[in-house]
Amino acid sequence: MLRAYSAFIYLFLYAPIALIVVFSFNSGNNASDFQDFGVDWYFKAANNSLMLAALENSIIVAATASVLATIMGTMAAIALQNVRGPLRVIFDGLTYIAIMVPGIVIGIATLIALVTTFDAANTILAGIWPGDAPPKLSLGYGSIIAAHTLFAMALVIIIVRARIAGMDRSLIEASADLYADPLATFRQVTLPQLMPGIVAGFLLSFTFSFDDFVIAFFVAGSKNTLPIYVFSSIRRGVTPEINAIGTAVMLFSLTALITAQILLRRGNKPTR
Amino acid sequence: MTTAALKEKRRQGRWNALLLAPSGLWYLMLLILPLIVIMVYSVGERAPTGGYQAGFTFDNYLNIGARWTAFKNTLLLAPTGTFICLLAGYPLAYFLAVKANPRMRLFLLILVVVPFWTSFLIRTYAWMFILGGRGLPHLLELIGLEGFRFINTPFAVLVGIVYAYLPLMVFPIFVSLEKLDKRLLEASDDLGASPFATFRQITLPLSAPGMITGCMLVFILLMGEYLIPQMLGGGKVFFIGNALVDLFLQSLNWPFGSACAMALVFIMMVTVGLYLKATRATGSRDVSLM
């Protein structure tokens, strides 16, 4: 019975996804009536310049944010293993706050903080700028990347710290005993051991940023990311094109995720 | 301590400070500062043209009653959704941890977790499609059951919630069940306890940390939910998140919106506080968040 129940839950989890995939191959115009098999909507989507622009923005944002988050997060995680006292408590607290505060609040808070800062900065810039057209700070790539990096960085810190906690310290001691200098030990012993955690953190950061709607919705300004584009087209009405875009997006993030999961699992096995 | 050791320690300290500087700066500029700004705005006044005007008043907080429906829906549907996730997720976690073929276990577990990270928007959209007029109600009509309407009801929102957050509930419960010492179950069985008694007296209490963590994770994310009520509640069943979007992007009442956001953060902090207290009481924080 438990087995049947579990099978039912898997069906519940995957049937809606399967439905989207199946209907993405519907060549008819009607979103809910399967007429003919075809890949027409994939071609339509591939020629949709608005969608392509949004996709390009999403890739730029996700790549930049996840690289930044992975580098800064890994640096912090490595330092935190040697830090005790209030600094560590503050950092851990901030990491949890960054994860816990709902995306919508982060989005709003970042929006009003940035808009306020930009307004002030633009007034000053206009005052001191020698030419006629002073540069104007505004929402866009920078603000989405900055906001996404915050959450992703906290994620990387947690994952890499867990990996450090599970690391075999005797290898580091052995390396020191064999007269390797600290940098060589780090490069040849510590880093390879942390790598699965770092890569998993990077992949999760990328998927998070690529998938995020609510934070980007607030801080994107006039830029569209793919989720914002999809959201606004859903509002205009359900079309088969969304199924095609959705299938492509899911296939893409599924690949990244399964890689991340396997790396995390394999990484967590005790090393001998 | 020798001078050399002291020097080494100082070098290490400088090195750590350098490593922590970028992330510290990020936390300061994009977490602490924005949260302070929202706090300041929440006691300010709305400028006549929208936005913010300096001031000091608690009117925004006193006015929260004006958005009572959003708070009521959230505080009603978030716990209900969490509870359904627990009921639906526990048997699956139990199956994965205890009954499933060990060689298949990892694969089955990944299969549960993966949807959580996969395009939230598209997966919710799938339910718009299923529950919408031309989906399930249309199928029911074909077999003679007419007049069903699912979309834009609390039911649709709950289905969306369970669908989206079930994986997050299953994972921590699985972790705590997997850690459970199976010999306890055998001992209980040897002592003549019925399977039900064993489950109630051993398995269930020992998996409490996982259940608490799962419930907290789901509840916290649900409190800030926007997309599910927006897409499946269709403006009829809306959450605090939807009220916030309206206040900030449509009616441009930033101070009042800030006050609502602060109230949301406050409710979450109380929840996290209770969670920490509960985990300390059950003596287990090893079923952590990820």
Instruction: Judge contact between A63 and A143, C-beta under 8 A.
Output: no
pLDDT digits (tens, 9 = 90+) for B28-51: 999 999 999 999 999 988 888 777
Neighbours of A97 (CB within 10 A): 18
Q: Length of chain A, please?
A: 272
Q: Length of chain B, please?
A: 290
For the ranges A225-234, B114-123, B197-206, the maximum mean pLDDT occurs at A225-234
Mean pLDDT lowest among A21-30, A69-78, B77-86, B227-236:
A21-30
The phi and psi torsions of B230 (rounded to 5 degrees) equal: -65, -45
Instruction: Note every long-range contact of B195-199, with CB atoms under 8 Å and residues 24 or more positions apart, other chains counting.
Output: none
- Tokens 């977490």 sit on residue: B31
Type of residue numbered A67: V
Note whether B223 contacts A102, CB cutoff 8 Å: yes
All structural domains of chain B: 39-281 (1.10.3720.10)
Whether the per-residue pLDDT at A270 is higher than 50: the answer is no
Of B72, B81, B27, which Cα lies nearest the Cα of B263?
B72
For residue A246, give the DSSP letter. Answer: H
Note whether A82 contacts B12, CB cutoff 8 Å: yes
Q: What pLDDT is stored for residue B63 in this prediction? A: 85
Type of residue numbered A242: I
Whether the per-residue pLDDT at A264 is higher than 80: the answer is no
Q: Work out the pLDDT band at A31, boundaries 50, 70, 90.
A: low
All structural domains of chain A: 48-268 (1.10.3720.10)
Q: pTM (2 decimals)? A: 0.87
Q: Work out the pLDDT band at B194, boundaries 50, 70, 90.
A: confident
Whether the per-residue pLDDT at B115 is higher than 80: the answer is yes
Of A102, A214, A261, the CB nearest to B113: A261
Distant-in-sequence, close-in-space partners of A122: CB < 8 Å, separation ≥ 6: A134, A136, A137
Distance CA B31, CA A106 (A): 8
pLDDT digits (tens, 9 = 90+) for A37-57: 888 888 888 888 999 999 999
Whether the per-residue pLDDT at A272 is higher than 70: the answer is no
Of B13, B22, B288, B33, which Cα lies nearest the Cα of A76?
B22
Radius of gyration (C-alpha) of chain B in whole angstroms: 24
Q: Work out the pLDDT band at A160, boundaries 50, 70, 90.
A: very high
Measured between CA atoms, how close is B249 to chain A, in angstroms? 8
Tell me the residues of chain A between 166 and 225 that have a Cβ less than 8 Å away from chain B.
204, 207-208, 211, 213-214, 217-218
A151 touches chain B (CB under 8 A): no
Q: What pLDDT is stored for residue A235 in this prediction? A: 84
Of A94, A104, A153, the CB nearest to B241: A104
Strands (E), chain A: none
Q: Quick one: tokens of A256?
A: 């990244």
Of B91, B96, B118, which Cα lies nearest the Cα of B107?
B96
Answer yes or no: is the ipTM higher than 0.90. Answer: no
